[in-house]
Amino acid sequence: MTTVSIPEDWPTTEDRARAVQDELRARVILGEPGPPPGSGRVTGVDVAYDDERDIVAAAAVVLDASSLEVVAEATAVGRVSFPYVPGLLAFREIPTVLAALDALPCPPGLVVCDGYGLAHPRRFGLASHLGVLTGLPTIGVAKNPFTFTYDDPDTPRGSTSALLAGSEEVGRALRTRDGVKPVFVSVGHRVSLPNACAHTLALTPAYRLPETTRRADALCRKALREAYSV
């Protein structure tokens, strides 16, 4: 487990954080398809908080994309690096998530975030932020549609509908299990939206949520429990 310090130049105000978002958003790459689903490696990242102790734990779990077997994993624990502000949640998580990714013994490949990319009020959620900072292809797979609207996809697994901000498509609602509530997929960086959905389906052979998210969620919660005992 890696212990993380908050970077000295990390934003401390909402205005500064939004200015950083504006600067980095211009560097998001939307014109690349990304790696083929089911090939190479794919990594899930997730975080768990203890706000009373001001602690955040992050986990990165690398899977073989074809077998979904665990290849490597790493965790990091640090102080919460920004107050809770809707739309700026990445600033609470990024330093610790970056430390977990840096601690991996192998390249992560595609990174799947438990959250949003372009499906964000400022079109720059955690997946986009992380992708720009690392240069890695990233997608967001969220449990709920945030503030956006969608029509319920058809019942069969693989059905989709547009996730909309007004008339703008910012992602897709994707049915990963027959008749089960969809997940909400959005592009982060260097991946197309159809490919992001295809990756999500490849990562959900048995459950609603991707195996990357399920495994990273369990690992970051374990890391948080272990941090309590230190």
For β-strands 183-189 and 138-142, DSSP reports them as antiparallel
Total-model pTM:
0.95
Angle between helices 14-25 and 126-134 (to 10 degrees): 60
pLDDT digits (tens, 9 = 90+) for 201-220: 999 999 999 999 999 999 99
User: How far is it, in rounded angstroms, from Cα 135 to Cα 223?
Assistant: 26
User: What phi and psi, each to the nearest 5 degrees, are found at residue 197?
Assistant: -65, -40
User: What phi and psi, each to the nearest 5 degrees, are found at residue 63?
Assistant: -115, 150
Is the distance from CB of 93 to CB of 101 less than 8 angstroms? Answer: no
The DSSP secondary-structure symbol of 177 reads S
Q: What is the CA radius of gyration of the chain?
A: 17
Give the chain's residues under pLDDT 50.
Answer: none
What CATH architecture does domain 2-228 belong to? 2-Layer Sandwich (3.30)
Query: Domain-by-domain residue ranges, the chain?
Result: 2-228
Please give the pLDDT value at position 230. Answer: 57
Distances (CA, A) of 54 to 57, 196, 229: 10, 33, 15
| Of 147, 162, 151, nearest in space to 116 by CA | 147
User: How far is it, in rounded angstroms, from Cα 176 to Cα 198?
Assistant: 10
Please give the pLDDT value at position 6. Answer: 87
